[in-house]
Structures are given as structure tokens and as C-alpha cells.
């Protein structure tokens, strides 16, 4: 899966990344088997992380509309204990949030020791939608890539593991998914007419994402470009990267505070 | 007063800075007159800042125990409207705060547009008391100077004015003030036996402060070393620097949302 990791300093052209790639799986059936095993493994790792209360884990998901952020969260974290896992969805900023710097609302939700926090959208919107829609002048958003790198570096140096995923879909796949939302009344709640306007800005968003991927994939907080046209493969990639990262930590249950030998519970 | 500003990149030796200096005032009486005028000026500036709701102002106060942080706040901000001015006192971190990075609790209290926030102690404690008492390894606190500079740069580039004051007292003056707290029952609540232990670490704190002043006085967030043995002069210096900084902003009352000419209130 390392082929999907963005090497720091590389100049990303998304046209060179195939959204329907399934290269690291034999086929869908084999991929789903592996995913099921990863799911179980993640459950154990998360429990240990929580018990040890030493490491912090921050997972950032970004994608075009219908890119599959909600689905990835639901499937990849299926079965983990919600006690130690928080999902934070960042929507349009409130007036109070807008009155502060753009990292203010984000920093409040970064993980504590033992926690996994998943950002469904994130501070990257402040160089994505904000850039595409000219919500602040270029001179302002241009500086934010450096802010973000420094912010994430501080988090990492203070004990956070950061994993960032761009769920990469094709415009064709987006069309299919938007149509499915229109056709199915149980999906109407997810259909937003404004998404059609955003869809027309596709090339602008691609350019903004290319800048994000090229400028903010760092040694300490790398991006993974996830081929996301096929949902089973998207889940497999995300889960593999997370499980490998957790296995790289020295996760272990903490020593009991006292020697428990010989203790009798009457 | 510019003589007290720490030029970025300078190597500060506090022995060369006289805590009882009163160079920028003719005498106490002249200094107090000027201070009274500054106080009135600050009141007007703060009201305009609040009405305009465009700029954010962060004032950071650091000092040895009895250095005069509380007194400076009380006198310099005497008369301003508490609606737009908040004082945040950072104490020993709680368990929840300790489970996050050290900037987490600080960032939550940074000012919004139109606000003045005063930090009574701050994130600098994480390279002061933490360093002196070895609360984290040197490898951890060594990285924090860079974090802090990057954090403050982000705040400034997103619209915050940051002013940092080190209230510089002599060990002799500290002794006098501690004794006064012992002698006066109405000051007993401020007397903390632990302060005596900290007093013994004076040279360690001086070294830690010298590192802070040398490494974190930046173009965007400079330190002022305030001669603080004389309270009237301390107040004069702090007030002058704040008023000058506010006068450098383009403070003005906002335009009314509508043309008010011809409006009749019946």
C-alpha cells in the first residue's frame, strides 16, 4: 500500500493517480477477506491504545463530495469501542469560529492520550473551499500551508500520530453517486443542490487538492491518496494504513499500579 | 521605551538589564501623570477595537513570583470595559490538559476579533517551570521554542497583535515583597510556601528566561523586558507599549450598515 503514500516534496498531478485502481488486491473477494481481518486487528489495537493512554492518533479524511468519507468511517471503524474513538465533522464555520484563527476550532478537537480522533473534513478546507471560492485573499491562504505543517509538526512532536487520507474518485463515479442519491428517497437527506455547483468547479478543486498534497505531505504527517471509486478497495487501503501505523507504536497494556499476585477477592 | 524591546536574534543576559531602571521618566510624579493619560487613551482605543471587531490583541505577562503580573493587569487595564477584555490565568495543568499537547489549553483562549486577551502566565511556562523542574526531557522542551514561534506567527498572520512582557525584578525586591505578604494578614492568601523553593532556583529560572527572551522574541511577537522593581515605572512601560501598538492599528468605528441620514425615531 506504500505506493499510495505521497512522498514529501513531490509534485502531485492527480491525473496520474487512477481512482479505480485495485492493484494491491487479487480481487474483490480476497480484498474483503483481508479487510475483515484488519477490522478485528484494529479493534484490539484500539483497545490497547486506550488502555495504555500514552499515544494520540489523529486521522484526517478529505474528499470531493460523495468521495466516501462517511462510508470509510462507518466501515473501517466498525466494531471499535466508541469510548476511545471520536469523529469530528467540520461544517461551515460559525460566526464565533470565524472570529478566531482557522486552526482555533480544529485544535480544540485534537486527540488526548489514548484517543483516536477522526476529522471528517478538517483545517484543509481552509486551503480548499476557501481557495476555490476566494473566501480570503490569496496572500492569506498562501501562508496557511506553512502554518498547517508547523501545527501538525507540533502535534506529532508532542505525541500524536497523524494519518491523512485523500479519497480520490473520478467525476464519472461522482455523477453515479449523486444520481443514486436523487433516485433513492432514503438518500435524499444526503443530497445537497449546492453540490452540483461544486461539481462544476471540479478542475479548481483538483488544483487546490494538488497543492495540498504537494505542499503538506510531510515526514511527520504524510498523505495517502486512496483510489476510492471502488468502496471495498477504499476501505482496504485506509484500514491497512491505519493498522500498520498502530502496529508501529509500542502499544501494550500498562503495568498494574500494584503487584496483583496473591490478591484474593472475597 | 523602545530600549526595552528585545531585538530578534539577540542573546539576552539579564544581568545587563537593570530592574530598577526609570530612565524613560523624569521622576515618579511625571511618570504617574503620563500613566494617567495613557489609561484614558487605552480606554478609548479598546472601545474602538471592540466596536470595529477586526483586530485581535493578545498580551502575555510572565515574571518571577511577586513580579507584579496581577498588579500590572489591575492598573494598566483599570477602567477598560471588561466586555471586550479577558484575563486568563494559567495554573498547574489539569489531567485533561496534560493529556493533550501543551498549546491545546492555550489556543482555546486566544482572542477573537475585537477582543483583548491577557495571559497571566502562558505557554511559556512549558519552557520555564517545565525546564527548571525537568518535568519533560530536554529533547522535548528544546523543540518547543520553534513550536511557539510558529504558533504565534500563525496567530499574527491571521490577524492577532501579540505583545509579550517579562516583568523583571531583582532577588532583593522579591524578598521584600514576600516579606510583605508574610507580614500583612490581608496578603496571606497570596503567600505560597512553595514560592520559597522556587526562589532558591533563581539562577535556573534566569537561565530559562534568558533562553525564552533570546529565542522567542520575533519580528511578529517581540518581548519587552520591563524594569519592574518600581511598580509605577512597570505600569508606565507596559501601558506605553500597549497604547503605541494599538495606535499603530487602523482602529476606527465601523461604518453603519445603512445610511442613517433622515432616520426619524418617533
CATH of the domain at A107: 3.40.50.300
The reported pLDDT for the residue numbered A10 is: 96
**Inter-chain residue contact B153 with A147, CB threshold 8 Å:** yes
* pLDDT digit string, tens, across residues A35-76: 999 999 999 999 999 999 999 999 999 999 999 999 999 999
Q: What angle do CA B105, B107, B109 make, to 5 degrees?
A: 80
Name the nearest CA neighbour of A57 among A131, A114, A123, A138: A114
Cβ <8 Å between A53 and B113: no
Please answer yes or no on whether A160 and B103 come within 8 Å at the CB atom: no
In the DSSP assignment, the letter for residue B111 is P
Interface of B with A in 139-158 (CB under 8 A): 140, 143, 147, 150-151, 153-155, 157-158
Total domain count, chain A: 1
Average of per-residue pLDDT across A104-121: 98
Q: pLDDT band at residue A262, thresholds of 50, 70 and 90?
A: confident
The Cα-based distances of A258 to A114, A234, A251 in angstroms read 21, 45, 20
Q: Which of A132, A133, A50, A135 shows the shortest CA–CA distance to A84?
A: A50
Distance from CA of B252 to the nearest CA of A (A): 18
**A220 in B contact zone (CB under 8 Å):** no
Contact (CB, 8 A) for B192 and B115: no
Supply A252's cell numbers.
501494550
On the question of pLDDT at B250 being above 90, the answer is no
pLDDT of residue B256: 82
Beta-bridge partner residues of B57: B116, B161
Give the C-alpha separation, A228 to A13, whole Å.
Answer: 16
Looking at residue B255, what is its pLDDT? 87
Contact: A113, B99; criterion CB under 8 Å:
yes
Per-residue pLDDT band at A156 (split at 50, 70, 90): very high
Kindly state whether residue A263 falls inside one of the protein's structural domains: no
- Asked if the structure places residue B79 within a domain, the reply is yes
**Least CB–CB distance from B103: residue in A111, A147, A154:** A154
In a domain, B259, yes or no: no
Mean predicted confidence (pLDDT) in A220-234:
98
Q: With cut-offs at 50, 70 and 90, classify the pLDDT of residue B262.
A: confident
Query: Looking at this predicted complex, what is its ipTM?
Result: 0.92
Q: Does B28 touch chain A (CB under 8 A)?
A: no
Which residues from chain B sit within 8 angstroms of residue A86, using beta carbons?
A: none
**B244 pLDDT more than 90:** yes
A9 — alpha (psi -120 to 50), left (phi > 0) or beta?
left
Contact A157 B140 (CB under 8 A): yes
Nearest CA in chain B to A149: B150
Residue A261 forms part of a structural domain = no
Q: Is B120 on the interface with A (CB under 8 A)?
A: no
Mean pLDDT (whole number) for A5-15: 97
pLDDT 10s digits, B209-224: 999 999 999 999 999 9
Q: Which domain holds residue A11?
A: 2-247
How big is chain A by its Cα radius of gyration, in Å? 20
**Is residue B112 within 8 angstroms of chain A, CB to CB?**
yes
In this structure, are strands A85-89 and A116-120 parallel, antiparallel, or unpaired? parallel
Residue range A188-215: mean pLDDT, rounded: 95
pLDDT of residue B260: 85
Q: Which chain B residues are Cβ-neighbours of A55 within 8 angstroms?
A: none
How far is the alpha carbon of B140 from chain A, nearest alpha carbon, in Å? 8
A53 shares contact with chain B (CB less than 8 Å): yes
Q: Which of B53, B107, B150 faces A107 most closely, judged by CB atoms?
A: B107
Q: Is residue B264 part of a domain?
A: no
Whole-number pLDDT of residue B58:
98
- Please tell me the predicted confidence (pLDDT) of residue B84: 93
Residue A99 has pLDDT above 90, yes or no: yes
pLDDT score at A106: 98
Q: Is residue B252 a part of any domain in this protein?
A: no
Least Cα distance to A124 among A78, A183, A62, A179 occurs for A62
**Prediction pTM value:** 0.94
Task: Decide if A262 is inside a domain.
Answer: no
- The chain A residue lying nearest B143, using CA atoms, is A157
> Which pLDDT score is estimated for A256?
82
For the segment B95-118, what is each residue's pLDDT rounded down to a tens digit? 999 999 999 999 999 999 999 999
Q: What is the pLDDT of residues B60-83, one digit of tens each?
A: 999 999 999 999 999 999 989 999
Local structure of B207: helix, strand or coil? helix
pLDDT over 70 for what percent of chain A?
100
Inter-chain residue contact A143 with B157, CB threshold 8 Å: yes
A150 contact residues in B (CB cutoff 8 A): 147, 150-151, 153-154
Contacts 24+ apart (CB under 8 A), A74-79: A75/A35, A75/A231, A75/A235, A76/A39, A76/A42, A76/A235, A76/A238, A76/A239, A76/A242, A77/A42, A77/A118, A78/A39, A79/A39, A79/A40, A79/A42, A79/A43
Q: What integer pLDDT is reported at residue A117 of this predicted model?
A: 98
Question: Does residue B97 form part of some domain?
Answer: yes
Task: Give φ, ψ of A41 to 5 degrees.
Answer: -60, -40
Q: How many pairs of residues across A and B have Cβ atoms under 8 Å apart? A: 72
| Lowest pLDDT segment from A93-97, B127-131, B257-261 | B257-261
Amino acid at each position: 500500500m506504500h505506493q499510495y503514500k505521497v512522498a514529501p516534496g513531490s509534485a502531485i498531478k492527480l491525473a496520474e493517480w487512477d481512482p479505480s485502481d485495485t492493484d494491491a488486491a487479487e480481487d474483490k473477494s480476497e480484498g474483503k477477506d483481508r479487510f475483515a481481518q484488519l477490522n478485528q486487528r484494529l479493534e484490539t489495537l484500539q483497545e490497547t491504545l486506550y488502555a495504555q493512554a500514552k499515544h494520540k492518533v489523529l486521522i484526517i479524511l478529505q474528499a470531493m463530495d460523495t468521495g466516501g468519507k462517511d462510508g470509510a468511517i462507518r466501515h473501517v471503524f466498525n466494531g471499535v469501542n466508541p469510548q476511545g474513538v471520536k469523529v469530528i465533522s467540520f461544517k461551515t464555520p460559525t460566526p464565533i469560529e470565524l472570529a478566531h484563527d482557522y486552526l482555533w476550532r480544529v485544535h480544540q478537537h485534537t486527540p488526548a492520550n489514548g484517543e483516536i480522533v477522526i476529522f471528517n473534513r478538517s483545517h484543509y478546507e481552509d486551503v480548499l473551499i476557501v481557495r476555490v471560492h476566494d473566501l480570503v485573499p490569496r496572500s492569506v491562504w498562501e501562508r496557511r500551508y506553512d502554518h498547517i505543517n508547523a501545527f501538525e509538526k507540533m502535534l506529532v512532536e508532542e505525541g500524536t500520530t497523524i494519518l491523512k487520507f485523500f479519497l480520490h474518485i473520478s467525476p464519472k463515479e461522482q455523477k453515479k453517486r449523486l444520481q443514486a442519491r436523487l433516485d433513492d428517497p432514503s438518500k435524499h437527506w444526503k443530497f445537497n443542490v449546492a453540490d452540483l455547483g461544486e461539481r462544476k468547479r471540479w478542475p479548481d478543486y483538483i488544483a487546490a487538492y494538488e497543492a495540498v498534497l504537494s505542499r503538506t505531505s510531510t515526514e511527520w504527517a504524510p498523505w495517502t491518496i486512496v483510489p476510492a471509486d471502488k468502496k471495498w478497495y477504499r476501505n482496504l487501503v485506509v484500514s491497512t494504513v491505519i493498522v500498520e501505523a498502530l502496529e508501529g507504536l509500542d502499544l501494550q497494556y500498562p503495568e498494574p499500579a500494584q503487584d496483583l499476585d496473591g490478591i484474593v477477592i472475597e
